[in-house]
Structure 1
């Protein structure tokens, strides 16, 4: 096999050769870089260079008496296979040789990147990534507990082995991990990183598997609870005082009007008082237009008494007290759309009210 010389970017590489001859003449040496079209690096008789060097080799090449070539200030473009030809005038034999030269950049110290250093067992995926800043032709490797790792059913390495993926983490994966990077001229190892694997508790497993079902159940129960809670009772609202409501209803023609019962709004503990029937003076009928509809008077419950209020006192039978509690009833609203017959008998007109 052809010899390989490994050089470093910016360094020097010696392409050495050996030959033997009985002639005292100086050899003719020619070095070429093998490409699609060969590139002549240098040509000389002995150590004397013949012709002009290519610009990219000025000040960078040096020939020795035995035909060896020294390349200085190596570039990445210098990499390749070099061929040397040595011939002597008195000898019919011409020697040839190939030397491979590689030019690389040293790798820097790698670093292991891990999203979370602590995980729970049975976690689906944990990824470790090996990174470095510089270096050509890197080759990656992984160590677990100081021992090399290889692909298996759970520990998966990427195609370039830069990424390590642990599928379905187990407690046995709790260990120290590190990565290595190397190329033909250097190798480096990262600092170890610890992966902590914790056991899942039974409660965690239950919550993780049935958490969604439990959440749906709680939402359903809360929804039913809101539906069965009674709303605010209208009767519990406080009114500023008593209220009389006029309800419209149609009664049979033959039904007589009944007097209205009134309760004093200022004293809800007093019993109801029934005033006598009243009539409207005949002279006041002309100023009113009665509706054909009848509006019976209804009473509305007054404010409920407080449970701590004192017991009601018996009503006084004094006529003066009754007169002070009696309020003048309001007349129902009269509609202006309908009028009474003109020939209505005055006897049917209501008499003026009489108060006690």
Structure 2
């Protein structure tokens, strides 16, 4: 408050201070690049301002980033800020080669000797690594209808603070009774597969500074009844084939056995055996041995 020496309660005194303004409340930064924390101030004084920037994080002691009179830096900078800091006449701060540790809330205080009140302003700074292209991993590219708990996994290699999402047929997926997303939305679970799940799927990943979409993948769903028809038809065909082969083999075996059964040389030899009227008897040739007969008998048993 600027008041003359004769100011009393009957007179109003002029209030003087620094007014700090900013066009933005949050700056999105990228690792390795630069970020401008832009502010401006107004004052009735023509003196150079004293500018102080601090980094504040929850449950941590504030860190003094830089102090300056105008653009002239006072004292020595902390090691992590050397050759990375630039202060402008309007009080703005430029940070080069951003690091993840630069993230936080920045407070600027601007004061001038003749002014009673110090101007303050907060600007938030986020620092991130851009996300890389995600990809989908799943147990198989095809699944049987009515299968349970079929999972699709979305992954990416680089990027900070990722947020995942899913698309089915080009439309955004949300949680429902069958299509369930994990807490971080990295995993899509189909609790019970139906034919309508036969579709094209893709996943997305994004953060505050970038977004990427995976290559689409096709999930094919086969009807369970169709598989049963195929299996049953195949089983019947196999059974018919086996029966046909067995019958053919059986005929061949019987034919061979029958041929062998009638291969014995049998000739009639007349003999009277002491009778007047000879009665022909069928006897085997004398060259048929006893062992041969036993062998044939064994074959007859098989027939």
- Does the alignment reach a TM-score above 0.5? yes
Q: Residues of 2 paired with 1:148 and 1:122: CA distance?
A: 23
SS at match of 1:201: helix
* Match in the other structure for 1:5: 27
Q: Are residues 1:20 and 2:42 paired?
A: yes
Compare relative contact order (CA 8 Å, sep 6+) and give the higher one, 1 or 2.
2
**1:135 corresponds to which of 159, 170, 173:** 159
Q: Within 5 A, what are the aligned runs for 1:198-209? A: 198-201=222-225, 204=228
Q: Residues of 2 paired with 1:203 and 1:89: CA distance?
A: 87
Q: Residues of 1 paired with 2:196 and 2:93: CA distance?
A: 56
SS at match of 1:65: coil
Q: Are residues 1:33 and 2:55 paired?
A: yes
Shift of 1:199: 1.6
Which structure is higher in helix share?
2
Q: Structure 2 unaligned runs (5+)?
A: 1-23, 236-262, 274-303
**1:89 corresponds to which of 113, 117, 122:** 113
Residues 170-220 of structure 1: CA distance to partner in whole angstroms, max 9, x if unpaired?
111111111110000000111111111122236628979xx9xxxxxxxxx
* Match in the other structure for 1:185: 209
Q: Structure 1 unaligned runs (5+)?
A: 212-306, 318-356
**1:165 corresponds to which of 176, 179, 189:** 189
Q: Residues of 1 paired with 2:152 and 2:226: CA distance?
A: 28
SS at match of 2:202: strand
> Do the aligned partners of residues 202 and 75 (structure 1) sit closer, same or farther apart at CA in structure 2, a change above 3 Å counting?
closer
Instruction: Give the greater-gyration-radius structure (CA).
Output: 1
SS at match of 1:77: helix
SS at match of 1:56: helix
**1:101 corresponds to which of 125, 135, 157:** 125
Q: Residues of 2 paired with 1:203 and 1:156: CA distance?
A: 27
SS at match of 1:184: coil
Shift of 1:164: 0.6
Shift of 1:80: 0.7
Shift of 1:96: 0.9
* Match in the other structure for 1:67: 91
Q: Within 5 A, what are the aligned runs for 1:44-55? A: 44-55=68-79
Q: Are residues 1:145 and 2:165 paired?
A: no
* Match in the other structure for 2:277: none
SS at match of 1:127: strand
Length, aligned pairs only? 219
SS at match of 2:48: coil
**2:178 corresponds to which of 140, 154, 159:** 154
> Do the aligned partners of residues 311 and 173 (structure 1) sit closer, same or farther apart at CA in structure 2, a change above 3 Å counting?
same
**1:119 corresponds to which of 136, 143, 146:** 143
> Do the aligned partners of residues 160 and 205 (structure 1) sit closer, same or farther apart at CA in structure 2, a change above 3 Å counting?
farther
Structure 1, 165-174 or 59-68: larger mean CA deviation: 165-174
Q: Are residues 1:308 and 2:230 paired?
A: no
Shift of 1:46: 0.5
